[in-house]
A and B are shown apart, each in its own frame.
Chain A
Amino acid sequence: MIRPRVKRIFRLLLRRRDAVDAAVDEEISFHLEQRARQLEAEGRTPSEARHEARYLFGDLATARRRLRAGAHRREDRLRWREWLDGVRQDVRFGLRSLRHHRVASVFVVLTLALGIGANATMFGVVDTLMFRPPIGIAHPDQLVRIYFAFPGSNAIQKTGYGTYEALRDHVAGFQNVAAYSPEPTSIGRGADGAGIEAVLVTASFFGTLGVHPALGRFFTKAEERAAGTRTVVLGYALWKGRFDGNRGVLGRTVDIAGEPCVVVGVAPRDFTGVDLTRVDAWLPIGMATTMVSPYVLSRTDHGVWLSTVARMRAGASRQSTAAQATAAFAVVQADRPDAKGAHVVLAPLPVGRGPAVPSETRVSLWLALVSVLVLLVACANVANLLLARAAARLPEIAVRLSLGAGRRRVARQLFVESLMLAVAGAAAALVLMAWASAFVQHVVAPDVPIAAHATSIPMLVFAGIAALGTGLLCGVAPALLGARSELNMVLKGRSGSVAGGLRAQRLLVAAQMAFTVVLLVGAGLFVRSLRNIRHKDLGMDVHHVLYASVDFRPAGLSSAEVVAEYRAMAERVRELPGVTAAGYSNGEPFRSAWAVDIQPTAGQAAAMPGPYVAPWGRAVSAGYFRATGRRFVAGRSFDAADHTATANVAIINEAAAHYYWGNASPIGACVRMARNEHRCATIIGVVADTPWYSITAAPPQELYVPIETQEQDWNSGPPDVSMMEVGTAGDPERMIGPVRRAMLAAGGDIPYPSVEPLTDIIDPQYRSWEIGANMFSAFGALALVLAAVGLYGVMAYAVVQRSREIGIRAALGAQAGTLVRMVVVEGLATALVGAVIGVVASLGAGRFIASLLYRVSARDPLSIGAAAAQLVVVAGVASYLPARRAALVDPLTVLRAD
Chain B
Amino acid sequence: MPASEPLPVVKGTLDVLVLKALSWTPMHGFEVATWLEGRSGRGLGIDDSALYQALYRMEARGLVAAEWGVTDNNRRARYYRLTRKGRAHLEAETRRWGRYARLVTDILGAPAPEGRKP
B53 lies within 8 A of A70 (CB): yes
Shortest CB-to-CB span from A64 to chain B, Å, is: 8
Out of B28, B34, B48, name the residue touching A57 (CB < 8 Å).
B48
Q: Identify which of A3, A73, A78 contacts B72 (C-beta below 8 A).
A: A3
Closest-CB distance, A462 to chain B (whole angstroms) = 38
* Cβ contact within 8 Å between B70 and A30: no
Question: Quick one: closest B residue to A64, CB to CB?
Answer: B49
Chain B residues with Cβ below 8 Å from A70 are 52-53, 56-57
| Contact call B31/A1, Cβ cutoff below 8 A | yes
B59 touches A6 (CB 8 A): no
Residue of B nearest to A53 (CB): B48
Chain B minimum-CB-distance residue to A72? B56
Q: Is A4's beta carbon under 8 Å from chain B?
A: yes
Q: Which of B34, B49, B59, B76 contacts A78 (CB 8 A)?
A: B59
Q: Is the CB of B72 within 8 A of A57?
A: no
Cβ of A77 under 8 Å from chain B = yes
Stretch at the interface among A31-39, A243-251, A328-336, A423-431: A31-39
Q: Which of B25, B30, B72, B76 contacts A35 (CB 8 A)?
A: B30
User: How many A residues, CB 8 Å from partner?
Assistant: 31
Complex: A617 Cα to B99 Cα, angstroms: 105
- Minimum distance in angstroms from A206 CB to a CB of chain B: 61
CB atoms of A31 and B56 under 8 A apart: no
Number of interface residues of B (CB under 8 A): 32
**Distance between Cα atoms of A508 and B32 in the complex (Å):** 60
- In whole angstroms, how far apart are the Cα atoms of A8 and B26 in the complex? 14
Residue A56, interface by CB 8 Å: yes
A56 / chain B contacts, CB cutoff of 8 Å: 47-48
Taking CB atoms and an 8 Å cut-off, the chain B residues in 41-94 that contact chain A are 47-50, 52-53, 56-57, 59-62, 67-72, 75-79
Given A30-B77, A31-B33, A31-B48, also A4-B56 (CB < 8 A)? no
Give bound CA distance, A67 to B52, whole Å: 7
Per-residue 0/1 for A710-753: is the Cβ within 8 Å of any B Cβ (1 yes, 0 no)?
00000000000000000000000000000000000000000000
Q: Tell whether, in the assembled complex, residue A58 and residue B57 are in contact, meaning their CB atoms are under 8 Å apart.
A: no
Q: 1/0 per residue A20-47: CB within 8 Å of B?
A: 0001001110110011001000000000
Structural contact, B47 and A78, CB atoms closer than 8 A: no
The one of B47, B50, B52, B72 in contact with A27, judged by C-beta atoms closer than 8 angstroms, is: B52
Q: Given the known inter-chain contacts A9-B68, A27-B78, please indicate yes or no for A58 contacting B60, CB distance below 8 A.
A: no
A360 CB to closest chain B CB (Å) equals 59
Write out, one digit per residue, whether chain A residues 521-545 have a CB within 8 A of any chain B CB (1) or not (0). Answer: 0000000000000000000000000
Could you tell me the distance between the alpha carbons of A245 and B56 in the complex, rounded to whole angstroms?
Answer: 68
Min CB gap A352→B, angstroms: 53
Tell me the chain A residues, 585-614 only, with Cβ under 8 Å from chain B. none
Contact B62 A81 (CB under 8 A): yes
- Nearest-neighbor residue (CB-CB) of B46 within chain A: A56
One digit per residue, 1 when the CB lies within 8 angstroms of any chain A CB and 0 when it does not, for chain B 11-38 equals 0000000000000011111110110000
A63-B49, A66-B49 given; A30·B30 CB < 8 A: yes
Residue A812, interface by CB 8 Å? no
Contact A30 B28, CB 8 Å, known A2-B71, A73-B56, A78-B59:
yes
Give Cα distance in the complex from A38 to B37, angstroms: 12
Q: Does A6 contact B69, Cβ atoms closer than 8 Å? A: yes
Tell me the nearest residue of chain A to B76, going by C-beta: A26
Is the CB–CB distance between A2 and B60 below 8 Å?
Answer: no
Given A63-B49, A77-B60, decide whether A6 and B79 contact each other with a Cβ distance below 8 A: yes
CA distance A58 to B53 in the complex (A): 12
A400 within 8 A of B: no
Partner of B50, one of A2, A23, A58: A58
User: 1/0 per position for A125-165, CB-CB distance to B under 8 A?
Assistant: 00000000000000000000000000000000000000000
Residue numbers in B under 8 Å from A38 (CB-CB): 34
Residue A896 is within 8 A (CB to CB) of chain B in the complex = no
Chain B residues with Cβ below 8 Å from A27 are 29, 52, 77-78
Inter-chain CA distance A58–B76, complex, in Å, is 23
CB pair A4–B70 under 8 Å, yes or no, is yes
Q: Are B56 and A74 in contact (CB under 8 A)?
A: yes
Chain B residues contacting A448 (CB-CB under 8 Å) are none
- Assess the A5–B70 pair: CB atoms within 8 A: yes
**Chain A nearest CB, measured from B87 CB (Å):** 18
Most buried by A among B50, B60, B79: B60
Contact A31 B71 (CB under 8 A): no
A4 contacts B26, C-beta separation under 8 Å: yes
Docked pose: A81 CA to B83 CA in angstroms: 15
Interface residues of A in 2-17 (CB under 8 A from B): 2-9
A2 touches B31 (CB 8 A): yes
The minimal Cβ–Cβ distance linking A2 to chain B, given in whole angstroms, is 5
Could you say which residues of chain A place their CB within 8 Å of the CB of B47?
56-58, 63
Which B residue sits closest to A75, measured CB to CB? B60
Counting chain A CB atoms within 10 Å of each CB, the highest count among B25, B29, B56, B77 belongs to B56
Is A490 part of the contact surface with B, judged by Cβ < 8 Å? no
Nearest-neighbour CB distance to chain A for B54, whole angstroms, equals 9
Q: Is A71 among interface residues, defined by CB-CB distance under 8 A?
A: yes
Bound-state CA distance A3–B48 (Å) is 22
A56 to B48, CA, bound (A): 6
Contact A9-B67, Cβ < 8 Å, known A30-B75, A30-B77, A67-B49: yes
Interface set, chain B 91-116, CB cutoff 8 A to A: none
Interface centre among B50, B52, B57 (most CB of A within 10 A): B52
Q: Sample 13 A-B pairs with CB under 8 A, ordered by A number.
A: A5-B70, A6-B67, A9-B67, A26-B76, A30-B28, A31-B33, A34-B30, A56-B48, A63-B49, A66-B49, A66-B53, A73-B56, A73-B60
Q: Interface residues, chain A, CB within 8 Å of chain B? A: 1-9, 23, 26-28, 30-31, 34-35, 38, 56-58, 63, 66-67, 70-71, 73-74, 77-78, 81
Which 4 A-B pairs give the minimum distances between C-beta atoms? A63-B49, A74-B60, A34-B30, A77-B60
